[in-house]
Structure 1
């Protein structure tokens, strides 16, 4: 559609981080009108490489307003987007939702960046056509597809820490395309034997001889993508992704009374199959379709002391979850620049859990539907308006738990529903700057864990189930200016206010018993700032800054955790002559609370990284990097020490 291509090109030219893959037709993966797509922040392939971001969690923290979050007791990396956590900001892979059905938390540290095309973050306006639960926006991970008749790459990197080789990172990809379609094959692996402690860190719990105890990980992923393009604007793609992960959890080594534990996950596996299609019906109508099946298998060995780890004596937990879903979107060009779209999305989420190898599975199942519509209106030559509505509902199909005495508990059915709406106006100035103002009222359904959990292991408490929890709701306003200081300098500045009501918070019924209830209100007020430019030919610079104030209105709600007031990422790429370039980057953040009573606090820090790339020629290049250049001891979560100075060197061949 000419309409969508024209708007998409304008949108990508104004984005904070311009996508190197903009030449590809990425409009298939995200369902939205072109004006709403223009509100998306994009982290492209080149930025991922220059800043040496090996996993999706660290890469997303480059976007203004996105904060890296670490669940230290589970060694999980997640992100918060303007205060909203991973349950409130869904993650999509090529537009297909991927998450853990039970608790909604996805360890983005397991998702490698070496074989992805770009990362897209919608923070303010996020199209409701994509489906439910977009209370705080959306994140989309895109896989690449070939643009040449034959192309590929292969690379290997070796890592060192504390004078020992401790990790390697390897990847390979092959693609071919012609007028009838394309095929893309890729694979990647990042294996880590241990994390190195910063020099001078003397902590008998964290590790010895410079090696962080229980800190190994091994992540592998393979992707097969086959696309058919029978006509110029039509496309039908089939994608298979197999992700095989293992990880261990370094123990808590802080100053509070929190117990150190040595958990290990010998299995953290995801497998996804999905189909996506785009069919143009004449000049005005477009039909998009998708069908997917996503599985998650997770085995946890809980060793609650070093002695238990050494003797391999611990508790067992296994998840075997899956999601199946489908969606249709129909779009019609109403006038020369107007677009009306309708979408229906359906998915079934199944969680199966057992606490012993031969035990029967507890089983929980939810079915969710979403009906949505979006209208893009060219109100004037320099003014666009886009608005969306959706009605979502979720049916509890099954809630079954095997008790220790052999009996079976079946929980009451529940069927909450929610209405969502949003609107955005965007004014285009003569110099191609834009000013966008958006309002939204969106919801998020409670997870299976929030409704059905019967324990809170970290505090050794019993949890009372609450199947009738209502959806959380966020009312938001966002004002964003995308502009240019001159042709070589672009910037994004946003101010926003998010008011969360019916927030799901844990209530202490007594010292030993808790229950999740809709009882909270939290307000988030903030500023995002991004700048990117070239002061002269040999130098590129970038800056990403976030300022946020969180205010929990309930007196006993406690502190908002894992949310620093200020975050900053800045980088400088210097190219003294064309084959050689250096990138120095700085990551800084203020202090943050690690628990709700405020007794654990991660101090603020600043960490410096350095990378060099040299293009040898004939498709060959070499690279070297030093992360945590000054060997700083720092924490995302209090008591969980991050890796000290580490080195990487690699070689890459591209054809």
Structure 2
């Protein structure tokens, strides 16, 4: 009986995505990829159907559907990231099938380079996040689950063409093939999203922004291939080997705002990630389960910095190249103690290496960190109504190498350093007889400073020199979360949360003088907020979804300044109308209040609302066509002041699934 309640509660937490998922299928994938007790799995899951209906082509855009998650854009670097209840990309780790993926140097992963095609789900953990998953989960976690076949033979093929300002400006293509039998499976997939230019809204008449309605320096090209091989020698055992190759290119449109910030024309001809990882799950009798993983992840990044349009045309600019890699492994052993009690232990190890040079023939600067994590979690079924889960972890990070080549030909080597942190959290969940549940969690979690935060010597975006601070301490967050999952009726469900996050020892850049800064554990920031997600069916033909986020940030040190890229309120709502079975129409609206684009508050991105419309039509079983209009009313809006987003754009596509 209790397992049925747990399944219902898990299903209910998916309501805001506008789509139900078969509990057993998703539970199996989560068991393989996300480590943690079943009660601790409070993730909100976004499904491919919702992603497609709302026309979200990259991971950053898709994650913005979730209440409490806001899309953030760094205009100066053309990076798309997200904030989860105020926490930024460095504080919320991202995983592929439970394996960490990030940028070893600065942690600023550009989620706009990650395509949503060929993903079976996107999972966001905002409150209780199992410490069994590894270190640095101060603000929650994000997991991208790659697809694997569920039938003996599966195949899909899709192509979409985009238009803006009267010209074809983009295309999106993907294909996959899956084979499955009693001993294992094979999944192969590939995708590409290419944007020749971003079309400007018709109301923008700014020569810096672009000519003939085309945003200057706005092209991008992202490709990804995935090969996944799984072995299932026994019913409860599974061993998977995954290879992911991701190649990206992007350009950065120039600033066209009203401040004194000068436009620049940066380009990234190389933004490539390559990942190899193994995962295993072995069941020993009726009590013990061993999970294992090992991985090797690489990141290559080349940046060409042109500070004027003339420099861009003449190819005169500065050069920066990263060649990074990460090796890691983890083990988890869990034991089923009683009917539903579970005790688990986990150990993680990883080494991050960052190599950087400022000229093609220059030697590499080299930095290396080693991180360990030991954790434990216990799930206790108090009775039929109450569940309690608690976890602890002890993490340590050792700096093994920090070497920089100076402009005068000398070499600087920084002393080794290390940090130790202890984390804990607990959650109590009560299940009502009417299938509702309420959960209260407390946590004290940390994040180690990145290599860039400790060793950077420049801030090129601001023209400042930075003093290194190798002995930065870890940031900490004390969090309280109260979440209610409920049904209003059989056709209406909701998820509502209130939370408080207090970040102490926050790593913030402090001005030493006008030209010099240093990162210090000098800040405290409080985030207080409310999330609400609703999904329902008005009539048999009409379904709606609604996501609302309210957050207040309070920076205690007023000299530090404002939190950037974080609107106080954001809303996403959609309605899907199915007049008859082959045809569905989805109208969506996204709105958010204004947000600061720099820490002193002098630049602010105005609030906006954007309307999108999509139609899907199934011609025959497995074959469908679609068409969409994004930014229907050609609104001029920006996530970061001075960096306008795309105007009205059109897409048509065709998709076949076997």
Structure 2 length normalisation: TM-score? 0.98
How far 1:9 moved relative to its partner?
6.1
Tell me what 1:648 maps to: 651
**Counterpart-to-counterpart distance in 2, 1:391 and 1:195:** 47
- Out of 475, 489, 495, the residue aligned to residue 498 of structure 2 is 495
| 1:127-526 map, 5 Å | 127-526=130-529
| 1:56-67 map, 5 Å | 56-67=59-70
Secondary structure of 2:311's aligned partner: helix
| 1:594-609 map, 5 Å | 594-609=597-612
Q: Give the gaps of 5 or more residues in structure 1.
A: none
**Counterpart-to-counterpart distance in 2, 1:131 and 1:6:** 28
* Residue 29 (str. 1) matches residue 33 (str. 2): yes
1:161-217 per-residue CA deviation (whole Å, 9 max, x = no partner) reads: 000000000000010101111110000000110000001210010101000000000
Instruction: Say whether the 8 Å CA contact 2:123–2:144 is kept in structure 1.
Output: yes
Structure 1 pair 400–570 and aligned structure 2 pair: CA distance change class (3 A) = same
**Counterpart-to-counterpart distance in 2, 1:309 and 1:291:** 42
How far 1:459 moved relative to its partner?
1.5
How far 1:7 moved relative to its partner?
4.0
How far 1:5 moved relative to its partner?
9.4
- Out of 44, 48, 52, the residue aligned to residue 49 of structure 1 is 52
Structure 1 pair 6–281 and aligned structure 2 pair: CA distance change class (3 A) = farther
Secondary structure of 1:559's aligned partner: coil
How far 1:300 moved relative to its partner?
0.4
Tell me what 1:566 maps to: 569
| 1:556-635 map, 5 Å | 556-635=559-638
1:324-381 per-residue CA deviation (whole Å, 9 max, x = no partner) reads: 1000000001111100000001100000000000100000000000000000000111
Instruction: Say whether the 8 Å CA contact 1:50–1:611 is kept in structure 2.
Output: yes
How far 1:413 moved relative to its partner?
1.1
Tell me what 2:11 maps to: 12
* Residue 528 (str. 1) matches residue 531 (str. 2): yes
Secondary structure of 1:201's aligned partner: coil
Tell me what 1:100 maps to: 103
Aligned length in residues: 653
Instruction: Say whether the 8 Å CA contact 2:277–2:296 is kept in structure 1.
Output: yes
CA RMSD of aligned residues (A): 1.2
Structure 1 pair 21–97 and aligned structure 2 pair: CA distance change class (3 A) = farther
Instruction: Say whether the 8 Å CA contact 1:278–1:287 is kept in structure 2.
Output: yes
Secondary structure of 1:386's aligned partner: strand
**Counterpart-to-counterpart distance in 2, 1:453 and 1:503:** 17
**Counterpart-to-counterpart distance in 2, 1:343 and 1:633:** 49
**Counterpart-to-counterpart distance in 2, 1:467 and 1:265:** 29
Greater shift in the superposed pair: 45-54 or 15-24? 15-24
1:550-574 per-residue CA deviation (whole Å, 9 max, x = no partner) reads: 0000120111111000000000000
Instruction: Say whether the 8 Å CA contact 1:388–1:421 is kept in structure 2.
Output: yes
How far 1:115 moved relative to its partner?
1.2
1:463-515 per-residue CA deviation (whole Å, 9 max, x = no partner) reads: 00000000000000000000000011110000000000000111111111100
Instruction: Say whether the 8 Å CA contact 2:629–2:651 is kept in structure 1.
Output: yes
1:92-144 per-residue CA deviation (whole Å, 9 max, x = no partner) reads: 00000000000001000000111111100000000000000000000000001
Instruction: Say whether the 8 Å CA contact 2:44–2:124 is kept in structure 1.
Output: yes
1:41-77 per-residue CA deviation (whole Å, 9 max, x = no partner) reads: 1111110011010000000000000000001000000
Instruction: Say whether the 8 Å CA contact 1:218–1:245 is kept in structure 2.
Output: yes
**Counterpart-to-counterpart distance in 2, 1:432 and 1:551:** 36
**Counterpart-to-counterpart distance in 2, 1:66 and 1:10:** 21
Instruction: Say whether the 8 Å CA contact 2:203–2:636 is kept in structure 1.
Output: no
**Counterpart-to-counterpart distance in 1, 2:276 and 2:503:** 35
**Counterpart-to-counterpart distance in 2, 1:9 and 1:145:** 24
**Counterpart-to-counterpart distance in 2, 1:286 and 1:273:** 24
**Counterpart-to-counterpart distance in 2, 1:261 and 1:135:** 34
Secondary structure of 2:200's aligned partner: coil
Instruction: Say whether the 8 Å CA contact 1:134–1:444 is kept in structure 2.
Output: yes
Instruction: Say whether the 8 Å CA contact 1:21–1:117 is kept in structure 2.
Output: no
How far 1:13 moved relative to its partner?
4.0
Instruction: Say whether the 8 Å CA contact 2:12–2:494 is kept in structure 1.
Output: no
Q: Give the gaps of 5 or more residues in structure 2.
A: none
How far 1:15 moved relative to its partner?
2.7
Secondary structure of 1:48's aligned partner: helix
**Counterpart-to-counterpart distance in 2, 1:296 and 1:408:** 25
**Counterpart-to-counterpart distance in 2, 1:92 and 1:127:** 13
Structure 1 pair 441–368 and aligned structure 2 pair: CA distance change class (3 A) = same
